[in-house]
């Protein structure tokens, strides 16, 4: 583990402490929150690489947490956990943008594997955005009319596939 920071939101004290213990033992820096409202206050998109939230919580529920975090930081993966593992709830969480849905009780290994996958996806999305910005910053139209320049142009701009010296008819 590289010490990525996570936010773990769980209203059940023993469930939260067990989750925090297991994630910290695996090498993550984990912030805990007792409910959705506290979780939303503590969430920092610059710090938290993944958010793990329970669904059924007083005041601000997990689906509301999910929607708010997705609105504030669409690239941050959110894992939804619940003891109420019904299909409709799982579908609602996934439609709202959850990275994954984990039923309780869950095995430590399952949680850690899902977190690792979410972190990898987050890294891949960040790299994709970086590369897209890099390409957008350096992509310029090709200027020139030599045969070599004609071959270098992308298709549709008189580029490859067009013979040097070919006339437009």
pLDDT tens digits, one per residue of 50-59: 999 999 898 8
Residue 45: inside a domain, yes or no?
A: yes
Strand, helix or coil at 78? Answer: strand
User: pTM for this structure?
Assistant: 0.75
Instruction: Count structural domains, the chain.
Output: 1
pLDDT per residue as tens digits for the range 113-154: 999 999 999 888 888 888 888 888 765 666 777 887 777 766
Going from the C-alpha of 20 to that of each of 34, 85, 91, 164, the distances in angstroms are 12, 21, 26, 65
Residue 100: inside a domain, yes or no?
A: yes
Residue 141: inside a domain, yes or no?
A: no
Residue 140: inside a domain, yes or no?
A: no
Residue 161: inside a domain, yes or no?
A: no
* CATH code, domain with 63: 3.40.50.2300
Residues 59, 37: Cα–Cα separation, whole Å: 7
Contact 51, 77 (CB under 8 A): yes
Q: Structural domain of residue 49, as residue ranges?
A: 5-133
Residue 10: inside a domain, yes or no?
A: yes
Residue 148: inside a domain, yes or no?
A: no
């Amino acid at each position: 583990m590289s010490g990525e920071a996570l936010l773990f939101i769980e209203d059940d004290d023993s469930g939260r402490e067990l989750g925090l213990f297991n994630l910290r033992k695996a090498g993550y820096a984990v912030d805990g929150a007792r409910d959705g409202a506290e979780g939303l206050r503590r969430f920092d998109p610059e710090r938290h690489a993944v958010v793990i939230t329970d669904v059924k919580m007083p005041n601000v529920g997990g689906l509301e947490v999910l929607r708010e975090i997705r609105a504030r930081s669409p690239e941050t993966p959110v894992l939804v956990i619940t003891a109420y593992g019904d299909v409709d709830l799982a579908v609602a969480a996934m439609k709202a943008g959850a990275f994954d849905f984990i039923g309780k009780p869950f095995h430590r290994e399952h949680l850690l594997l899902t977190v690792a996958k979410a972190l990898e996806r987050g890294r891949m999305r960040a790299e994709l955005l970086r590369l897209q910005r890099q390409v957008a910053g350096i992509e310029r139209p090709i200027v020139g009319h030599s045969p070599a320049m004609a071959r270098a142009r992308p298709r549709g701009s008189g580029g490859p596939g067009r013979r040097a010296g070919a006339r437009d008819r």
